């Protein structure tokens, strides 16, 4: 989405919520070029890519859902709400920039997992357990050693 002030093409989404009538998405964006902020009203599925769920259902990207999953993964860890919010913003920008209109939810999950790995091994392990539906001990052991590698 272009900056309305300076025309810079890469702007960051800082907030995103459904519009009052529910048929559009209201996005608050910030421009790294001129530092100004502006609001856009976008049609879901028109500009933003559609997320393809594991069971094949399609849905627009949901920032709140991602934030909730991150909060769960980072519970009681020394990671601030601001940091999580910024991470969601980064993911959202990445999703928006994606050239393919349909994105698998697994792909997005992998991006989040990679970002969490940099942040905290425990957050990474918790998130990946849910994301990859890990239930057996052997796979969990592998995941833990993966999370802590290089520590």
Task: Tell me which stretch binds Zn ion (CB under 5 A): 23-31, 51-59, 68-76, 87-95.
Answer: 23-31
Task: Tell me which stretch binds Zn ion (CB under 5 A): 24-32, 37-45, 66-74, 114-122.
Answer: 24-32
Closest CA to 116 of 81, 145, 75, 87: 87
What is the number of other CB atoms lying within 10 angstroms of the CB of residue 112? Answer: 23
Binding of residue 31 to Zn ion (CB under 5 A): yes
Binding of residue 9 to Zn ion (CB under 5 A): no
Binding of residue 3 to Zn ion (CB under 5 A): yes
Between residues 27 and 126, which has the closer beta carbon with respect to Zn ion?
27
Among 2, 9, 17, 33, binds Zn ion (CB under 5 A): 33
Distance CA 101, CA 82 (A): 29
Distance CA 146, CA 96 (A): 29
Output phi, psi for 17, to 5 deg: -150, 155
Binding of residue 8 to Zn ion (CB under 5 A): yes
Distance CA 93, CA 62 (A): 13
Interface contacts to Zn ion, rule CB under 5 A: 3, 5-6, 8, 31, 33-34
């Amino acid at each position: 989405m272009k900056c309305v002030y300076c025309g810079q093409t890469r702007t960051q989404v800082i907030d995103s919520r459904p519009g009052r009538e529910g048929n559009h998405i209201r996005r608050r964006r910030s421009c790294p070029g001129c530092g100004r902020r502006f609001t856009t009203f976008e049609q879901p599925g028109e500009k933003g890519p559609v997320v393809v769920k594991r069971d094949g259902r399609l849905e627009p990207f949901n920032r709140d859902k991602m934030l909730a999953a991150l909060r769960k993964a980072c519970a009681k860890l020394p990671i601030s709400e601001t940091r999580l919010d910024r991470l969601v913003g980064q993911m959202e920008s990445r999703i928006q920039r994606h050239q393919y209109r349909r994105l698998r939810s697994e792909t997005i999950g992998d991006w989040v997992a990679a970002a969490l790995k940099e942040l905290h091994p425990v957050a990474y392990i918790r998130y990946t357990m849910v994301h990859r539906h890990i239930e057996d001990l052997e796979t969990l052991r592998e995941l833990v050693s993966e999370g802590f590698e290089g520590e």
